[in-house]
Structure 1
Amino acid sequence: MQQFLEIRRGLVKQYPNIILLYRMGDFYETFFEDAVEINRLLGITLTSRGKTVPVPLAGVPYMTLDSYLARLVKAGKAVGIVEQQGDSTTNKGAVPRKLVRIVTPGTLTESELLPSKADAALLALEPPLGKKAPEWSIVSLVLSSGAFKAMSVAEEELAGEIARIAPKEILVPDSIREKAQAIASGALVTPLPDWHFDPEHGAEQLRHHFQMESLDAWAVSEKPGILAAAGAVLGYVSQTQIESMPHIRPLVLEESSRFVGLDAATRRNLELTESLRSGGGPTLLSTIDHCLTAMGSRMLRGWITQPMRAPEVPRERHRAVGELVGDSEKCEELAAALRPLPDLERIASRIALGSVRPRELAGLRDALPQLSKLSKAAAGCSSGLLKAAAPVLEPPQELSETLERALLPEPAVTLRDGEVIADAFSDELRQLRSLRDHAGDFLTELEAREKQRTGIPNLRVEYNRVTGYFIEVTRGQADRVPADYRRRQTLKNVERFVTPELKGWEDKAIAARERSVQLERELYEGLVRSCSAWVERLTEASEAAASIDALLSLARHARDMEWTEPELSGQSGIVIRGARHPVVEKAIEHYVANDCELVPGRRLLVITGPNMGGKSTYMRSVALIALLALAGSWVPAQSARIGPIDRILTRIGASDDLAGGKSTFMVEMVEAAAILHQASSRSLVLMDEIGRGTSTFDGLSLAAAIARELADRIRSYTLFATHFFELTQLSQSCAEVANVHVRAIQSSGRVVFLHEVREGPASQSYGIAVAQLAGVPQRVIREARSTLRELEERSRLSGDQPDLFSSPGAGAQDEAPDDEGEDAEAQAALRLRDEIAALDPDSLTPRDALARLYALIELARGGKSA
């Protein structure tokens, strides 16, 4: 307990929410408040030790640690791992123990704790530092691959970049803790003292870790914000990994302008990697991901979530996909080499950490010949992207030979179980194992000799873990044992003895067993150290294999779904013929494809039509086709010409943020404001039903103003879906606006959605027909239709938009009122106005408000008092 308390005292200041897993034999124990917490989070049985001061106690088995770790980290806990440093059977007193690692959401490296098809990134944020660093600095590190990247972004782009990287943990200076929480996108925010973010110290750490004299080659010497954030990341990783520093690749300075801007709302609305439905559902990634390896799936995810603005890289991918689409034999050759590959990227990372397991090294050994086959297959391709991967994939021959010689064909799961290193790798190990493994032969021979020497026919030579080796004789024959027998144990019916020969052999056999275990551990650690020299090459080979796997996946999907190669043009605009939604087309038997033309002179399309008619699907299909093209994929269309795009921005759906104090309409306006601030003449904007969260006139006015801003001033390429038919008149006053509608027909009171997008505005919304399809009671439908007819008639007679809050029955009178009637009406109107003006809505309870509303209606209909 003294050991435990000393270790915990040193950690709790920096990691106040840490749980310490303290190794005791075959269990990791927790004590005091840690035990209570682990009982609450995991349901582990809570016990106690000690009578005077009972100590709460809860433990998890050593062999199932990973499953418990995953649950604790998911709950946002930091977990300290304390291991025994000696052998409990030979130590006198307390076994020495040491903190070997701190596990946090951003520092995971175990395959069992990581999602196989996604990375767990650690990210550090540094706010602007003044004129020399006016932007936010972002540095990210993926421990499982060693990818180390940095960029500087403007504040309005910060949330979008965090959503793109999707970190599991964000390190921030303590002074910006609250601001970071607001933009964390679900990641754990870990505040550190501000002095951890020091540019000079960060530069020194980078030079020391990468053994460099200068950072000029990385172009970060004059970027103090990036140096500060990079120093915080390296320091945090060093603290959490204790002695096992992971393999970290050279820092890459990225420009945010390389990627198409996708803010968090756009990623969510387009369902790139996560479904909008709470129960889950298909996403773009899950639809097109046919990768044969986990590292291929992660590569494909990166392409989809980071489409490129410059066309060169996507065009290379298009050509590679085209070659694979047209050559099924080549596809199968590449796939056959890819299928047996393990997750090379994560194995390489665990080699660098020194935590790689025997079975993983055996998997690497078996995978190296497959890499060679993949290299030969790639070398036979004509695409530059595939051909360039061939030399990178060729495995190092020395590594292959070392692993073949060092490992048994089927090594044990863990080193603790032994049977990992091959006999041929060490003469000493072979001899020790021979001594250990031939105990049975020696014991059989000794038993036969002793029976003959003593004449005791039922004499047996045995072994157990408590007593060791012994000669067992029944009590009735005990008087016949020779003088050199020494009694070891007396039981009810037998006596157990040991001879000098047996005792000498026992000492030698036990020593051989212990020495073989120790030697095997030493040999394995040396093997892992020798493998670390090839970590960089293995990482590069894993990237090349993942890239081929991702291209194969895109080619397979393009061939199966009859996708076409898009044209990435320098000409401004988007022209798509026969556009289909890549996810929806797999879910329905017959998809109605549609065209889309967004070009100068036709930058904003006002889309009208019924609910459920397909407006949102049409808009999303255009955005996803543009995104897929810039990610390097073929697209679901007959043809597609995609001009330069810097951002894809969306405002789709209705949701609120009650915890953040934002109503549905406020969320709608916040997202609209973000679009208006970020959009440019090269942006693709999707606006769906803007203005519907407020009154008719407010909503219509806002929608019209936003549409005009996007079309006339920002001049972005915009799809603008609406139920405000008044917006269709924008095409008469704004040269960049055109009208399209989604067709539907109504027959026998029922609506049929045709899902065809045609030129011109829609004739009606079919809202009541959709309500009927939804199962609204027929009496409600009949009353709604009656009210609609009256409202439309009044609108036709007055020429104005109907007042939705007046009585439907208060229409035109049969005869014109006389002067007295006019005076009475005027007085009643003034009185009604005064009554309404006198209301204080903030002071009314819901019941009072309803009563006053009924009274006002009565007054409006000619009653005496409100």
Structure 2
Amino acid sequence: MQMRYLLDELRTVYEELPDLLDQVSASENASLPLMHDNNRAPHIVYVHQIGYLMCTYDKLEEEDLQQLQDFEFAFSEDGDEKKYFYHTFKTRELDNLLGDIYHKILDMERAIIRDLVTRILQFTPQLIKAVNFAAELDCFLSLALVARQNNYVRPILTDDSLIDIQNGRHVLQEMTVDTFVPNDTKILNDGRINIITGPNYSGKSIYVKQVALVVFLSHVGSFVPADGAVIGITDRIFCAMGSKSMTAEQSSFMIDLHQVGMMLRQATPRSLCLLDEFGKGTLTEDGIGLLGGIILHFANYEFPPKVLLCTHLTEMFNDNVLMKSENIKFYTMSVLKPGNNCVSVDDIVFLYRLIPGHALLSYGLHCARLAGVPEEVVKRATLVLDALKSNEPISRLANQKILAKDQQCKDAVAKMLTFDAYKGDLEQFFQEIFPAEF
């Protein structure tokens, strides 16, 4: 306690030090025999770790120092204005009286903190219990507050390995959109492998993630964003969601393979496995083969894990890569399309509703328009896609610049065929064909 009072006194002195130095400087200047400009009068300053010094803006000459025998040059400082620092009788007196007050304060603060830490450590077990209790209480209060603000419901945990969610929502996505479309999830004893197809931008990834978040929140003791939820005890949630790590010395596809490999080795009937667009990081044929193999591997389990899989590799359905199995169910994100000939973005409406079935179209061109891709790029992509579908050669890209260049080349060829190299002027001939190059 005494050290604390002493520290307060030192801080008071340190805060009042500028006024004190101004008073001492005025007293010293009045007794100096040398004349100085008022704006450039010598003054006493305090420098950390050095002490108190007389600062002047003009260097004192030898004859000046002889008159001021107690002045001793310390150092000079270059800057906007050069300064010279001296030890004097008064600065030495201040050194003895106050000393390096700033570092005295620091030393005293460190000593007080060390003493405080030593005293606190005596109550370490009690403090750890208090901190853990406060942290747990903070988590419960945060979960309760969010649940009340966003209309969450209490989930029912069961020993059965199932997921039954009514009108589930994504905890974050619903906060960023004006209207969020909820979806049901029902994974019981059969059809535990759910393959989800559908257009880009239709909400497949959000749906898969929202199921995982509902399962996770249920296990940490939170209410969940849904109208109702029965969640089976889950031992692990495996993800192969295309996550990118800038520090990993692996390709994106290799990272996905490692995630899937761990999933295949360690998943149990109580696990939840999420795969989003696995296989798109390599050749289409390789991706189809790997993805088909993964699905069949899980389908051959007597009691597979709960699997949610999003994919655009719809060739698996056309080429009969997948065998029929009661463990596999197909879903898609519904799209409202007025007719087969619609070309406008406004004609396509994403409903964000999960329904049974599978979709063979991704509507990538429509999504490109929604994303603001220039119309000429989308039109060119449409021509290329139509040519590939009809197994026809892709026509050359034609625009005004290319057509003008083609015509120029055709004219040059025609003139060259009629040119007589023995009689004509070759240099003049090329100047006429390519005037811009000459």
TM-score, normalised relative to structure 2: 0.61
Partner of 2:385: 784
RMSD, matched Cα: 4.6
The SS at the match of 1:653 is: coil
State the one-letter code of the partner of 1:559: R
Structure 1 residues 558 and 441, CA, compared in 2 at 3 Å: closer, same or farther? same
1:369-518 pair list within 5 angstroms:
421-423=7-9, 464-465=44-45, 488=70, 509-514=94-99
Verify the 8 A CA contact 1:594 1:757 in the aligned structure 2. Answer: yes
Report the alpha carbon displacement of residue 697 of structure 1 after superposing the two structures with TM: 5.0
Report the alpha carbon displacement of residue 782 of structure 1 after superposing the two structures with TM: 4.7
Partner of 2:279: 691
Structure 1 residues 735 and 516, CA, compared in 2 at 3 Å: closer, same or farther? same
State the one-letter code of the partner of 1:524: E
Verify the 8 A CA contact 2:162 2:188 in the aligned structure 1. Answer: yes
Q: Residue 704 of structure 1 is aligned with which of 292, 296, 299?
A: 292
CA distance in 2, matches of 1:623, 1:506: 72
Could you list the per-position Cα deviations for residues 76-126 of structure 1 after superposition, in whole angstroms to 9, with x for gaps in the alignment? xxxxxxxxxxxxxxxxxxxxxxxxxxxxxxxxxxxxxxxxxxxxxxxxxxx
State the one-letter code of the partner of 1:777: V
CA distance in 2, matches of 1:467, 1:752: 80
1:300-319 pair list within 5 angstroms:
none
State the one-letter code of the partner of 1:510: D
Verify the 8 A CA contact 2:212 2:237 in the aligned structure 1. Answer: yes
Q: Residue 352 of structure 2 is aligned with which of 755, 772, 781?
A: 755
Report the alpha carbon displacement of residue 407 of structure 1 after superposing the two structures with TM: 5.1
State the one-letter code of the partner of 1:736: N
Structure 1 residues 506 and 638, CA, compared in 2 at 3 Å: closer, same or farther? same
Structure 1 residues 656 and 701, CA, compared in 2 at 3 Å: closer, same or farther? farther
Q: Residue 114 of structure 2 is aligned with which of 526, 529, 534?
A: 529
Q: Residue 561 of structure 1 is aligned with which of 135, 150, 154?
A: 150
Verify the 8 A CA contact 1:563 1:638 in the aligned structure 2. Answer: yes
Report the alpha carbon displacement of residue 764 of structure 1 after superposing the two structures with TM: 4.4
Verify the 8 A CA contact 1:605 1:737 in the aligned structure 2. Answer: yes
Partner of 1:741: 332
State the one-letter code of the partner of 2:159: G
Structure 1 residues 506 and 670, CA, compared in 2 at 3 Å: closer, same or farther? closer
The SS at the match of 2:348 is: strand
1:289-368 pair list within 5 angstroms:
none
Partner of 1:641: 230
CA distance in 1, matches of 2:68, 2:245: 85
Larger radius of gyration: 2
Report the alpha carbon displacement of residue 567 of structure 1 after superposing the two structures with TM: 2.7
CA distance in 1, matches of 2:18, 2:367: 79
Partner of 2:410: none
Verify the 8 A CA contact 2:24 2:44 in the aligned structure 1. Answer: no
Report the alpha carbon displacement of residue 709 of structure 1 after superposing the two structures with TM: 1.3
CA distance in 1, matches of 2:392, 2:54: 100
Verify the 8 A CA contact 2:171 2:225 in the aligned structure 1. Answer: yes
The SS at the match of 1:777 is: helix
Verify the 8 A CA contact 1:751 1:770 in the aligned structure 2. Answer: no
Verify the 8 A CA contact 2:365 2:378 in the aligned structure 1. Answer: no
Structure 1 residues 406 and 584, CA, compared in 2 at 3 Å: closer, same or farther? farther
1:627 equivalent in alignment to 2:216: yes
State the one-letter code of the partner of 1:633: S
CA distance in 2, matches of 1:437, 1:765: 75
1:673-688 pair list within 5 angstroms:
673-688=261-276
Once structures 1 and 2 are overlaid, which stretch shifts more, 521-530 or 707-716? 521-530
Partner of 1:113: none
Could you list the per-position Cα deviations for residues 608-636 of structure 1 after superposition, in whole angstroms to 9, with x for gaps in the alignment? 22222111111111112222332333322
Verify the 8 A CA contact 1:745 1:752 in the aligned structure 2. Answer: yes
Report the alpha carbon displacement of residue 595 of structure 1 after superposing the two structures with TM: 0.8
Count of residues in correspondence between the two structures: 334
Structure 1 residues 431 and 422, CA, compared in 2 at 3 Å: closer, same or farther? closer
The SS at the match of 2:233 is: coil
CA distance in 1, matches of 2:18, 2:361: 87
State the one-letter code of the partner of 1:422: D
The SS at the match of 1:618 is: helix
State the one-letter code of the partner of 2:327: E
Partner of 2:412: none
Could you list the per-position Cα deviations for residues 737-792 of structure 1 after superposition, in whole angstroms to 9, with x for gaps in the alignment? 2222110122333422111001233364444544554544325425534654x5xx
Verify the 8 A CA contact 2:43 2:54 in the aligned structure 1. Answer: yes
Report the alpha carbon displacement of residue 654 of structure 1 after superposing the two structures with TM: 8.2
CA distance in 1, matches of 2:173, 2:218: 18
Structure 1 residues 786 and 808, CA, compared in 2 at 3 Å: closer, same or farther? closer
Report the alpha carbon displacement of residue 667 of structure 1 after superposing the two structures with TM: 4.5
The SS at the match of 2:109 is: helix
Verify the 8 A CA contact 1:704 1:727 in the aligned structure 2. Answer: no
The SS at the match of 1:733 is: coil
Once structures 1 and 2 are overlaid, which stretch shifts more, 607-616 or 559-568? 559-568
State the one-letter code of the partner of 1:735: E
Report the alpha carbon displacement of residue 647 of structure 1 after superposing the two structures with TM: 1.6
CA distance in 1, matches of 2:367, 2:11: 80
Verify the 8 A CA contact 1:610 1:764 in the aligned structure 2. Answer: yes
CA distance in 2, matches of 1:441, 1:786: 89
CA distance in 1, matches of 2:357, 2:21: 92
Report the alpha carbon displacement of residue 808 of structure 1 after superposing the two structures with TM: 5.0
CA distance in 1, matches of 2:22, 2:294: 90
1:717-728 pair list within 5 angstroms:
717-723=306-312, 724=314, 726-727=316-317
Structure 1 residues 525 and 726, CA, compared in 2 at 3 Å: closer, same or farther? closer
1:232-311 pair list within 5 angstroms:
none
Partner of 2:85: none
The SS at the match of 2:99 is: helix
CA distance in 2, matches of 1:518, 1:694: 64
The SS at the match of 1:514 is: coil
The SS at the match of 1:551 is: helix
Q: Identity percentage over the alignment?
A: 27
Could you list the per-position Cα deviations for residues 491-536 of structure 1 after superposition, in whole angstroms to 9, with x for gaps in the alignment? xxxxxxxxxxx96x97665323128667645543332222112143
Partner of 2:195: 606
1:164-203 pair list within 5 angstroms:
none
The SS at the match of 1:649 is: strand
Report the alpha carbon displacement of residue 596 of structure 1 after superposing the two structures with TM: 0.8
Partner of 2:242: 653
State the one-letter code of the partner of 2:385: A
The SS at the match of 2:225 is: coil
1:672 equivalent in alignment to 2:260: yes
Q: Residue 595 of structure 1 is aligned with which of 178, 184, 189?
A: 184
Report the alpha carbon displacement of residue 539 of structure 1 after superposing the two structures with TM: 5.3
1:585 equivalent in alignment to 2:174: yes
CA distance in 2, matches of 1:739, 1:580: 21
CA distance in 2, matches of 1:431, 1:766: 74
State the one-letter code of the partner of 1:601: D
Verify the 8 A CA contact 1:615 1:742 in the aligned structure 2. Answer: yes
State the one-letter code of the partner of 1:671: Q
Structure 2 stretches lacking a partner, 5+ long? 32-41, 46-51, 56-66, 73-87, 394-438
CA distance in 1, matches of 2:17, 2:195: 83
